[in-house]
Each structure stands twice: as C-alpha cells, then as structure tokens.
Amino acid sequence: MARRTPVRPTTRRPRTTAPLAWCAADVVLVLAFAASGRRTHEHGVTVVGVLETAWPFLLAYALTAVVVRAWRSPASPLPTGVVLWLGTVAGGLALRAASGAGVALSFQFVTLLVLGVFLVVPRAVARMIRSRRPVA
C-alpha cells in the first residue's frame, strides 16, 4: 500500500498582525486627510483640531469595519477596501452634518476622492505585489 504525502494548502493564513496593521494604516491616512484639509483651509494643524475634523470619519470607519468584519480580509480591495471607503465617507459626512459641521458639496467630492485613494489604492497595490510574488 502506497503512502500518501500530506497535501499542503496553497493559501497562506494571514498573520494576526495584518488586520491591526491595516487598521493602523487606515487610521493614519484618515488623520492625514483631516490634517491636510485643515492646513489647506488654514484652520491650524493641531492635535485637537485634527481630531475634531477626523472623529466623524474615524467613528464611521470603525463602525463599518465591525459591521463588515474587515479583519477577515483586511488587505482585500474588493469588497473590504471599497466598503470601508464608502462606509467611512457616507457615515463620516452624516456624522459631520449631524454635529453641525460643514458638508459643502465640494467637501463631499474631495472626501470621496481622497478617502477612496487612501483606503482602496494601498490594498490594490498590495494585491498586485502579492500576485506577482512567486509562491514558495
């Protein structure tokens, strides 16, 4: 009777640090978005000011991440990155409006574009890099 060699799975299990690293990167990028907006509009780039601008988007990001369980495939541009992006934008703008802060149409477009680049493009680039790497 021939012995069978165990088959190794071809997919790698994600490291446990990967979801935390993606979350940390996303939070830094949302903070950079807020800081950039404050700088552009000469509102002053202070820690308190940046957090005041960023909190609706950070809260929306956190809620969206929990709802879609983003930790299960944190590096996936589709659907994780796109859902995080749209949830962060929609929720952040809604929270911002509810708190009495401005949500001018131009701000909505900039928010949609910048957070799209920040939350989806890094995931797409990471996927491209991973797909070009030979599997050992």
pLDDT, position 17: 66
pLDDT category at 43 given cuts 50, 70, 90 is: confident
- Mean pLDDT score of the chain, rounded to an integer? 88
**Tokens 């609706």, residue?**
56
Which has more pLDDT, 104 or 13? 104
Contact assessment for residue 95 and residue 54, using Cβ atoms and an 8 Å cutoff: no
99-127 pLDDT per residue, tens: 998 899 999 999 999 999 999 999 999 99
pLDDT, position 9: 56
pLDDT, position 5: 62
Could you tell me the pTM of the whole model?
A: 0.81
Question: 8 pLDDT exceeds 90?
Answer: no
Q: How far is CA 130 from CA 32, 86, 123, 134, in A?
A: 26, 25, 10, 8
Helix (H), strand (E) counts: the chain:
4, 0
pLDDT, position 44: 77
Contact assessment for residue 97 and residue 62, using Cβ atoms and an 8 Å cutoff: no
